[in-house]
Amino acid sequence: MSVVLAFWMTALVIGALALPLSFRLFRRFPDGGAGLSFALGLTLVGWAYFIHRTLEVLPVGRGGAVLAVALLGLLAAGVAGYDRRFLASLRRSWPGAMAVTGLFTLFMFSYVAFRSYTPEIGGTEQPMDLMYLNASINSPGYPPEDPWLAGEPASYYYFGYVQVGILTQVSGASASEGYNLGLAYTFAAAATAIASLTFALARWVLGPRARRWAIGAAGTGVALLLLVGSLAGVLELAAAHGWGSDGLYETLGVDWLRPCEPGQAEACRPESDKWYPTRFFFWFDDSRVIRSDPGAVPPDVDTITEFPAFSFILGDLHPHVMSLPLVLLVAAVAAATWRGRSMLDFAALRRDPLVATVVALLVGALAFQNAWDLLTFSALLVVAVLARNMRRLALWPAVRASAGWLGPVLAVAVIAYLPWYLDFSSQAEGLYPYVGKGTHPGQAFLQFGALLLAGLVGLTWTVRRGEAQALADAALYTAWVPLGPLLLWIALAQFHGDLGDAVDARGAGGWLTLAAYALATWALTTGFVVARVARRAAALPLGLAAVGTLLLYGAELFVIKDVFYGGAPRLNTIFKLSYQAWTLLSVAGGVMLAVAAQRALRGRQPAAWLFAPVGAVVALGLVFVVIATPNRTDGFSGETTIDGLAFLARSDAAEYDLTQWLEANVPRGEVILEATGRQYGPGEGGAPAITDGNVDYGDGGRISARTGRPAYIGWYFHEIQWRGDTEGNQQDFRARQDLVDRAYTTDDPASVLDVLRETGANYLVVGSVEQRKYGAFMADFAEFLDVAYATGDYTVYRLPQSRVVATS
């Protein structure tokens, strides 16, 4: 418990230190941006740590992280000292800051309580996440080394791990504790961020006297983002109790969710003996709702439709999850920029370089934290700056003025993270038209229905009587918003020679879904333009909702070509863009629903009563969390701990002890040899032969993931994903696997020593995985290597040492 308190306290301190800067950035927010200060503070500390480690000003170790926090303290002192309105802001915002602290505490400890029932870092890509977290903490040099490819710098967007690593180090937690606490922090920081943003947007729309409704908007926004899930959860619950007809499931395009017939075991849901579905990991399928072939056995999953509630139940510490507070922060910066009055041009930048620099660091962090977010959220900022300047200037002068402010900001955003860019190898190979089967409308509704309806309900109160002409005028222009991408898609498909097939392949359902997205985008964009022209605060949530639907629409038309293009072309595009859409629609939906409820209940706009059915649909979206949580925690049974490796201590204490010894005794940066993950068995003539070459999602590289000590090679295909599916990479990584495997499958001591020298490794691990993967093929290492550590049947060997040392 003490480590949880230390982590929580560290997050609070960082948030508190960022308050003076939050007040500067979010002066017009009712809480002074207090809810965003966690993300703001941690991003700045993370950047300071990253850049000072890279410049070798800060050494590796916990103290470096503490010093980075101290730097934020100095920045806070400077901002507070020079900001004449700081004390006034503090007096005005302290109730909001207190409320935000309470919300942060509630969400953090609630998530810790949940996660403590299921803290294992073991399945899915969690070992990879732990590996990057350990890399950010333990790498002797910066940018950090890739622990699964000794000698090479990490080539991934790992800024989130740097930030969680800082919280972990400062609080004195171990990496396996910090992993879970990092998730809890992200959950809580995302909650406060969206609460702050939606509260501000609602207050701007409703005015200062409707505080309770604004609080309702904040609560709804938090719920939409973090608690609402796919509506497939409702069907899961129904199927678990044998409810619903086959027709319903087929109509919605989720055949696999139907209740099992007697004797049926596949592509159906078994009945549950508890009130919630008990099928193992049932909720995982609800992040794969959009499928081209709903009846395929075994399931043919070609997209990922993850949403935040799922992410937190699963517990993968992925970049797109850790970036939630940051993207909300940047969206809030865009909102604050939009709301501001003065011109933003080069002169403004010279007058207030601090704010511009901080904005640059935040925009730059988008790419470093989750590269997919860069375009969407920096575009929000660009539009906000342009719109603000257009209040005083015509279009082209406004563009020029905006460029004067945005140009340097974007330049600094790149320069500030240059060390990362130099090592990062993007695997995006360009924009391609999606020419496969379109999304079934039922699946689209189950996945995004609650969010889309929540966003669209705003149209019931933002459009006023007597604006028909204005709407019609605007609609003529805004039609290009959905038409433009469609025309581009046609052109690209024609260019690639796929147009005819693409039109057919999409299918009637796919075209219907596309049309629904297009209409939603068109309607929201039109509402946005009308509200913008009328200078109404409602323009902001409408604009965010429009961007959200545009992302869903765009993901139906295009794909970003990456390593999955051959097998599942839109896997990542739908995944990453719909996650952004979920975030934006949550912000907009929180405001739209709360304001609609206020307008309806006050009897001002009858159409706003649509909030009631939409609210009901949103409430159905909560079913997912309600039933998935007890399933994930096995009914909240079992021991509780926050240490993600406690399961290992229970299941294989010797392996756990070996890992702990390695972490405590092997210097950071020392290369170790451990199992690649490939399974060996007797081949021709009894010689060792590979019987299973798959290593990803398995035990390969588990020691380096748990300790940060670099292995010569870890998960093969993930390295391919990060560095490119080139022949050179394939050969290099295979050669690394072969070399390591040779050390474990030869009985020739000289060969083992050669491998150790060639790989630069001083240590060779023989734990449970090595015994399982290589078995009897292993040489008697003790004959020619030193036993550095032995526990039970497991041993860490070390190259023999001998050197003459002068003492005088």
Partner 1 sequence: MSAIAPEETPAAANEGAERTIAVSIETLAWIAVGAIFLGIRLWPIWQMPVGGAELVHLSGAWNASIGVEDDRYVPTLFQALTALSFAFTTSEVPARLLAFLATATIPLALFMLRPLLGTGGALIALGILAFDAVGVVAGVGAGAMGFDLAIAAWLFVLLTRADVPPWAWAAAAFAVTTGGPIALPLVVAAAATTLLRAERPPWRSLTWPAAGIVAGIALTTLRPGLGPDGLTIAPTALFVDGFEQRWSTADGLGLFILASWPVVVGGLLAAAWRVYDAWRLNELDRDEMLLLLWTAFALGWFVTALPSHDPTPLAALALPSALLLGPGLVRGFAAVRDADWTYTQYLIPFAAIALSIAVFYVGDWAKLDRVGNTSDKLVVTGLMLATLAALAVALLDRWSAPTVLTLLVPLAAVPLVVATATIAFRAGDAPLPSPLSPVQARELRDIALQSVGDDGGSIVIHPDFDDALTWPFRDSGTVVVASRIPEDAGFVLWPGEGAPPDGFAPLEGDWALLHEVDSPATGFLKFMRWYTDRYSLAITSEPVAVYVRENE
Distance CA 515, CA 521 (A): 10
Q: How many residues bind partner 1 (CB under 8 A)?
A: 33
Backbone Cα Rg of the chain: 27
Q: Which of 61, 270, 340, 436 binds partner 1 (CB under 8 A)?
A: 61
Q: Does 74 bind partner 1 (CB under 8 A)?
A: yes
Q: Does 77 bind partner 1 (CB under 8 A)?
A: yes
Q: Which of 512, 786, 790, 791 binds partner 1 (CB under 8 A)?
A: 786
Q: Does 137 bind partner 1 (CB under 8 A)?
A: no
Q: Does 469 bind partner 1 (CB under 8 A)?
A: no
Within 13 Å of residue 643, how many CA atoms lie on the same side as its CB?
15
Q: Does 63 bind partner 1 (CB under 8 A)?
A: yes
Distance CA 733, CA 727 (A): 10
- Which one, 94 or 346, has the nearer CB to partner 1? 94
Q: Which stretch binds partner 1 (CB under 8 A): 112-120, 364-372, 408-416, 793-801?
A: 793-801
Residues 6+ apart with CB under 8 A from 153: 143, 144, 145, 146, 423
Q: Which of 70, 87, 491, 601 binds partner 1 (CB under 8 A)?
A: 70
Q: Rounded to the nearest 5°, which phi and psi values hold at 648? A: -70, -40
Query: In 3D, which of 145, 164, 165 has the Cα closest to residue 156?
Result: 145
**Secondary structure class of 274 (helix, strand, coil):** coil
Q: Does 88 bind partner 1 (CB under 8 A)?
A: no
Q: Does 364 bind partner 1 (CB under 8 A)?
A: no
Shortest Å, Cβ 517 to partner 1: 50
Binders of partner 1 among 26-55, rule CB under 8 A?
55
Shortest Å, Cβ 415 to partner 1: 21
Q: Does 78 bind partner 1 (CB under 8 A)?
A: yes
* Burial of 699 (C-beta count, 10 Å sphere; 0-12/13-18/19+): buried
Q: Does 782 bind partner 1 (CB under 8 A)?
A: no
Q: Tokens for 755? A: 């491998």
Q: Does 801 bind partner 1 (CB under 8 A)?
A: yes
Tokens 């000292």 map to which residue?
81
- Which one, 162 or 344, has the nearer CB to partner 1? 162
Q: Which of 12, 92, 140, 172 binds partner 1 (CB under 8 A)?
A: 172
Query: Does the CA dihedral 329-331-335-338 come out positive or negative?
Result: positive
- Which one, 533 or 787, has the nearer CB to partner 1? 787
CB count within 10 Å of CB 746 equals 17
Distance CA 89, CA 718 (A): 48
Q: Which of 12, 27, 66, 227 binds partner 1 (CB under 8 A)?
A: 66
Shortest Å, Cβ 273 to partner 1: 46
Shortest Å, Cβ 75 to partner 1: 9
Tokens 């240590």 map to which residue?
763
H-state helical runs in 424-496: 441-456, 459-462, 468-478, 480-495
Q: Does 67 bind partner 1 (CB under 8 A)?
A: yes
Distance CA 5, CA 170 (A): 12
Q: Does 94 bind partner 1 (CB under 8 A)?
A: no
Q: Does 738 bind partner 1 (CB under 8 A)?
A: no
Angle between helix 373-389 and 395-415 (nearest 10): 140
Shortest Å, Cβ 731 to partner 1: 34
Q: Rounded to the nearest 5°, which phi and psi values hold at 190? A: -65, -40
Q: Which stretch binds partner 1 (CB under 8 A): 57-65, 231-239, 381-389, 569-577?
A: 57-65
Q: Rounded to the nearest 5°, which phi and psi values hold at 258? A: -70, 155
Shortest Å, Cβ 63 to partner 1: 3
Shortest Å, Cβ 80 to partner 1: 6
- Which one, 46 or 308, has the nearer CB to partner 1? 46
Distance CA 696, CA 698 (A): 5
Q: Does 750 bind partner 1 (CB under 8 A)?
A: no
Distance CA 658, CA 647 (A): 14
The mark string for 151-170 relative to partner 1 (x by CB under 8 A, - otherwise) is -------------------x
Q: Which of 19, 60, 181, 538 binds partner 1 (CB under 8 A)?
A: 60
Q: Does 807 bind partner 1 (CB under 8 A)?
A: yes
- Contact at 8 Å (CB) between 150 and 723? no
Shortest Å, Cβ 73 to partner 1: 7
Q: Does 58 bind partner 1 (CB under 8 A)?
A: yes
Distance CA 264, CA 252 (A): 21
Q: Which stretch binds partner 1 (CB under 8 A): 24-32, 159-167, 715-723, 798-806?
A: 798-806
Residues 6+ apart with CB under 8 A from 750: none
**Secondary structure class of 375 (helix, strand, coil):** helix
- Which one, 144 or 364, has the nearer CB to partner 1? 144
Q: Does 353 bind partner 1 (CB under 8 A)?
A: no
Give me the residues paired with residue 431 across strands: 560
Distance CA 18, CA 36 (A): 9
Q: Which of 12, 28, 54, 73 binds partner 1 (CB under 8 A)?
A: 73
Q: Does 800 bind partner 1 (CB under 8 A)?
A: yes
- Which one, 77 or 735, has the nearer CB to partner 1? 77
Q: Does 749 bind partner 1 (CB under 8 A)?
A: no
User: Beta strands 688-692 and 558-560: pairing type?
Assistant: unpaired
Q: Which of 32, 33, 46, 64 binds partner 1 (CB under 8 A)?
A: 64
Distance CA 464, CA 699 (A): 61
Query: Does the CA dihedral 227-231-235-236 come out positive or negative?
Result: negative
Binding residues (CB under 8 A) for partner 1: these are 55-64, 66-67, 70, 73-74, 77-78, 80-82, 170, 172, 786, 798, 800-808
